[in-house]
Amino acid sequence: MAIERTFSILKPDATERNITGAINALIEQAGLRIVAQKRIRMTREQAETFYAVHKERPFFGELVDFMTSGPVVVQVLEGEGAIAKYRDVMGATDPSKAADGTIRKLHAKSIGENSVHGSDAAETAKIEIAQFFSGNEIVG
C-alpha cells in the first residue's frame, strides 16, 4: 500500500485533560509517524473554514464554539494507507459506538467532544494539511 499523509487534530477536550501524549502513543503504536505537529488556538474563521462542509448542520455553531474553546494540536501523520489507518485508530465519531482500543473509545467524552479529527479522503487530507502547514514545516 502507498505511503500517504493525513491531517489530524487533537481537539480541545484532549488538550484540556492533558492526554495528548497518550493519544500520540496510540498513533505511533499503530505505525503512523507524526511528521508535523504544532499547538495552536484556532480562530473562529479557521474553524468555520475547516468545517465549512457542515455549515448547514444543526450542530455547526456548537462545533465551532468547541473547536475554538481551547488549544488544539494540529498534526500531519504519515504511513502506509495513513488515511484509512488513522480513521480505524480513531474509531467511530460517537464514542459509544467506537471499537475497543480506539482513541475515541478510550478517551472521547461525547459525539461532539470526541478528542480527535482525521481526514476522510486523499483530496480532503491535502486541503486540510495546506490550511495549517507550509511545506517546510512537514519533515518526513
Interface positions with ligand DGT (CB under 6 A): 54, 59, 62-63, 93, 111-112, 114, 117-118, 120
Within 30-138, where are the H helices? 44-50, 60-67, 82-90, 103-107, 122-132
Catalytic residue from among 117, 125, 132, 133: 117
Angle at 87 between CA 84 and CA 91, to 5 degrees: 145
Is 136 annotated to bind ligand? no
Burial class (CB in 10 A: 0-12, 13-18, 19+), 73: buried
Output 39 or 57, the one with its CB closest to ligand DGT: 57
Residue the block writes with cell 481526514: 119
Output 21 or 58, the one with its CB closest to ligand DGT: 58
Output 37 or 124, the one with its CB closest to ligand DGT: 124
User: Is 117 a residue of the active site?
Assistant: yes
Q: Which residue is nearest to ligand DGT (CB)?
A: 112
The set of catalytic residues is 117
